[in-house]
Amino acid sequence: MDIRDSVIKFKKYAHNFDFANKDIERKYFHSFRVKSFSEQIAKKLYLDNEKIKLSSFIGLFHDIGRFEQLKQFSTFNDYYSFDHGNFGAEYLKENLRFLVDTDEFDDIIIQSVKNHNKFRIASGLNDDELFYSKLVRDADKLDILFESTSIFWEGKEDIINNSSILDYSYDCIKNHSLVEYKKGMKLENLDSIIKVLAFVFDFNYTPSFQILKNNDYINKILGRYRFNDATTKKRICEIQDIINSFIDSKLEQ
Ligand SMILES: [Fe+2]
């Protein structure tokens, strides 16, 4: 696999879209950071060179469906457009031979891209498909946590400072589970941040916890805010402790 050639082709594809649109630009740089996180995880797992390159490729192309999604629907909301993981997988089914010179990894790439954005990975995947699906999910979540340290909620700090947390979100953190909001739930502004913090409970690999801890994303995300409500303040302290202890426990194993 020639990853430098893949990067050139990715750049060429992405530049068909409107870079004056900040959301396109953000997805472009997100893709490169997820490539880098995938590579870091793969190296820390001592994968061989070919597998490191495959991990990088999947990381770079995981959100390939985002560009058409934004162009066609002006939203990244899958609910109001299409499932961007499925769309990306279909795009790659059609175009993989142009991007990769061997068909050896086709199913792994397609399944990983398809499953990267699902609440849970589909059943029925083989060991390799499952391995790389888990890897790109970790890498993607790491970058969403990074983006939450500065890019997301920029200029909305005051709104967040005056926000509170749903009991439901708070309970999810206490139960070490992902936060899945159901239709009709009335969310507070802070709940979207809690949902991102809860990503740590879905990490698959120890290196992902190492990268998270080394970059101190959890404390950086929460360090941006000064919550006004006393209950919220107390809950956030607890949440911060629960998550940091969870990360430490994973690193001790
Ligand atoms: Fe995605």
User: Using CA atoms, how far apart are residues 56 and 42, in angstroms rounded to an integer?
Assistant: 8
Interval between CA 140 and ligand 1 midpoint (Å): 7
**Number of CB atoms found within 10 A of residue 3's CB:** 17
Percent residues over pLDDT 90 in the chain? 92
Which amino acid, one-letter code, is at 55?
S
Interval between CA 117 and ligand 1 midpoint (Å): 5
Please say whether the beta carbons of 170 and 236 come within 8 A. no
Interval between CA 5 and ligand 1 midpoint (Å): 22
Percent residues over pLDDT 70 in the chain? 100
Tell me the two tokens of residue 68.
């058409």
**172-201: average pLDDT:** 92
Interval between CA 153 and ligand 1 midpoint (Å): 19
Q: How confident is the model at residue 189 (pLDDT cuts 50, 70, 90)?
A: confident
- Concatenated DSSP letters of 37-99: HHHHHHHHTT--HHHHHHHHHHHHHTTTHHHHHHHHHS---GGGS--HHHHHHHHHHHHHHHH
Please say whether the beta carbons of 56 and 3 come within 8 A. yes
Residue 61 has pLDDT above 90, yes or no: yes
Specify the pLDDT at position 187. 86
Residue 183 has pLDDT above 90, yes or no: no
Backbone angle region of 18, left / alpha / beta, with phi > 0 → left and psi within -120 to 50 → alpha: beta
User: Using CA atoms, how far apart are residues 132 and 102, in angstroms rounded to an integer?
Assistant: 17
Interval between CA 85 and ligand 1 midpoint (Å): 6
User: Using CA atoms, how far apart are residues 95 and 51, in angstroms rounded to an integer?
Assistant: 21
User: Using CA atoms, how far apart are residues 140 and 63, in angstroms rounded to an integer?
Assistant: 9
Interval between CA 70 and ligand 1 midpoint (Å): 12
Tell me the two tokens of residue 191.
């709940």
**Where in the chain do CATH 1.10.3210.10 domains reside?**
1-148
Interval between CA 62 and ligand 1 midpoint (Å): 6
**82-94: average pLDDT:** 97
Interval between CA 139 and ligand 1 midpoint (Å): 11
Across 136-140, 144-148, 183-187, 204-208, least confident range: 183-187
Specify the pLDDT at position 115. 98
Specify the pLDDT at position 59. 98
Specify the pLDDT at position 53. 98
Interval between CA 154 and ligand 1 midpoint (Å): 21
Residue 188 has pLDDT above 90, yes or no: no
At residue 58's C-alpha, the angle toward residues 53 and 64, to 5°, is 140
Please say whether the beta carbons of 60 and 31 come within 8 A. yes
The 10s digit of each residue's pLDDT in 205-241 is: 999 999 999 999 999 999 999 999 999 999 999 999 9
Burial of 229 (0-12, 13-18, 19+ CB in 10 A): middle
Detail the DSSP E strand segments found in the chain: none
Residue 182 has pLDDT above 90, yes or no: no
For residue 2, how far is the Cα from the chain centroid?
A: 25
Residue 181 has pLDDT above 90, yes or no: no
Specify the pLDDT at position 49. 97
Interval between CA 136 and ligand 1 midpoint (Å): 10
Burial of 220 (0-12, 13-18, 19+ CB in 10 A): middle
The 10s digit of each residue's pLDDT in 98-137 is: 999 999 999 999 999 999 999 999 999 999 999 999 999 9
pTM: 0.96
Count, residues in the chain: 253
Interval between CA 213 and ligand 1 midpoint (Å): 23
Could you tell me the CATH superfamily of domain 1-148? Hypothetical protein af1432 (1.10.3210.10)
Which amino acid, one-letter code, is at 219?
N
Specify the pLDDT at position 253. 82
